Structure 1
Amino acid sequence: MPTFRDWLQALAAVLVFSTVTSAIDPAAPAELPRIGQERTMNRYLTEEEQTKLLWTLKLHSGDPLAARDYAWVRALRHSGLRIQEFSHISVGDALAALRSGYLFVPREHRKGWNRKPTQDGKLRKPPKDHSVYLTDALRRALQDLLKCRFELTGADCREFDPLVVSRHGTAMSVRSYQLRLSAWAEKAGLPPGVSPHWLRHTRAMAIMQSSTARDPRGVVQKALGHADIRSSGVYTQTPREEVEAALDEIDVGAAGRVTLAALRRAFYGRAAA
């Protein structure tokens, strides 16, 4: 249930969101961010937070389970997959991806496959097959996951066996992913509430902030597999770290600003001395 604070945050984002949307497509009407979109903008990792998390994982990577976690966190970070989709990846899927350069996600493993009727009784459209391009970083993460799987199980595996396994050699559950990441995030000193889905938002924000593509929002849509580009529009809002830096600059910078008049007074003071 949205709180009064949620409504205020959504209202405060309207002006910024409208400006950015118009810059992307001046002919398109600006859309107001929804309450859920406002929450999304707080549920991703900044560059500093990503560094803290990955460094913490790497420090403990001498432990086989920590090394496995280090690999799947990187894989989620560079693929943008939902954790439900990622948890279905098999050894064969990873090997095929390394050969073809694309990680295939069948529609049966995607969100919305088990469709439920809408409130008016209509069936939602089924999801489509999705593929994720293998960047060098994602390729290395998949290779590390294959290596970790062999070290944890110590046995040959079949192509349809799960890629990421528990200490018992069985597929990791979604809940296990959530608990493991939450524990690592706490150890790294990150804000509470970090979940695997934050890494999906992190991927989208990285594209929006760093891509030089003509239409970064379109890149987000293709990379994350959004059926509707409006789902990608939430990432066009001003990132929270930019908002925080701007506010710090206003409150601290104004008080400490050095003017030409102040410099001239200081100059006269030195000359007089």
Structure 2
Amino acid sequence: MKRYLTPAERHLLFNAAYKANDDLAQRDYHLMSALYYSGCRISEFLAVSLADAWDALKTNYLYIPAAHRKGGKQDHSVLLTKPLRMHLVALLNMNPSQNGADPLITGRFGEALTARAVQLRFRHWATEAGITLPVSPHWMRHTRAMDILRSSEAKEPLLIVKSALGHSNLNSTAIYAQPSREEIERELEAMDGRGGQRTTRAQLRRAYRRRVG
């Protein structure tokens, strides 16, 4: 698994938007954070309506119907942990509409926000944060899974990840059981006694192509 951020990288990404003093940046900060804490796919979260969010605050669970999920076969419910609840409330407060059918997340002029628009915002904040990785909204889902595995004290942490992400099959969750980039680098550095910064294969490929012409 390579498409995730370390806790330090995630902090840099979120902080870049948080420090910017304008409404669009604050929307992006709360949206990125909500995607991380919910583990939702971007299509799932953009389909959340104001009524869905209001109900979530009442029930403490954000309900994602099967029709809004990949494959369209199984629904999912996301626990509103304290951070997720905070970011959800912030997003609600940014939306002036009182029509429950309206989308929770809108663009600057009230239009429905697209996944492509969110992808571009992620790239913008990654650049602002000095992150050279090709960060996308789906990285938040992977990052959430990797952080659960790092921190969980459960006997079977993969089962926690499976439930949190709403996987129907443990085989889908098994990708997170592979060694992380940090684990591989740590073990190799321990053997060879060298230090170094995280480098992606794409960066290595570009450097190679520049070298060989």
> Secondary structure at 1:190's aligned position in 2?
coil
Q: Would you say 1:252 and 2:193 are equivalent positions?
A: yes
Query: How far apart are 1:191 and its partner, in Å?
Result: 2.5
Matched letter for residue 191 of structure 2:
I
Structure 2 residue runs of 5 or longer lacking an equivalent are: 195-213
Report the identity percentage. Answer: 45
* Superposition misfits of 4+ residues, deviation over 6 angstroms: none
- In structure 2, the residue matched to 1:140 is 86
Matched letter for residue 52 of structure 2:
D
- In structure 2, the residue matched to 1:178 is 119
Structure 1 residue runs of 5 or longer lacking an equivalent are: 1-40, 114-126, 151-155, 254-273
Query: How far apart are 1:246 and its partner, in Å?
Result: 2.6
Determine the C-alpha separation between the residues in 1 that align with 2:79 and 2:55. 12
Determine the C-alpha separation between the residues in 2 that align with 1:191 and 1:46. 13
Query: How far apart are 1:184 and its partner, in Å?
Result: 0.6
Determine the C-alpha separation between the residues in 1 that align with 2:84 and 2:71. 25
Q: 1:94 aligns with which of 39, 49, 53?
A: 53
- In structure 2, the residue matched to 1:57 is 17
Q: Would you say 1:195 and 2:136 are equivalent positions?
A: yes
> Secondary structure at 1:111's aligned position in 2?
coil
Check conservation: 1:80, 1:224, Cα contact below 8 A: yes
Matched letter for residue 42 of structure 1:
K
- In structure 2, the residue matched to 1:45 is 5
Matched letter for residue 111 of structure 2:
T
- In structure 2, the residue matched to 1:108 is 67
> Secondary structure at 1:89's aligned position in 2?
coil
Matched letter for residue 176 of structure 2:
Y
Query: Rg: which structure is higher?
Result: 1
Say what the alpha-carbon RMSD is for the aligned residues.
Answer: 1.4
Q: 1:208 aligns with which of 149, 153, 161?
A: 149
> Secondary structure at 2:111's aligned position in 1?
coil
Determine the C-alpha separation between the residues in 1 that align with 2:133 and 2:146. 20
Structure-2-length-normalised TM-score: 0.88
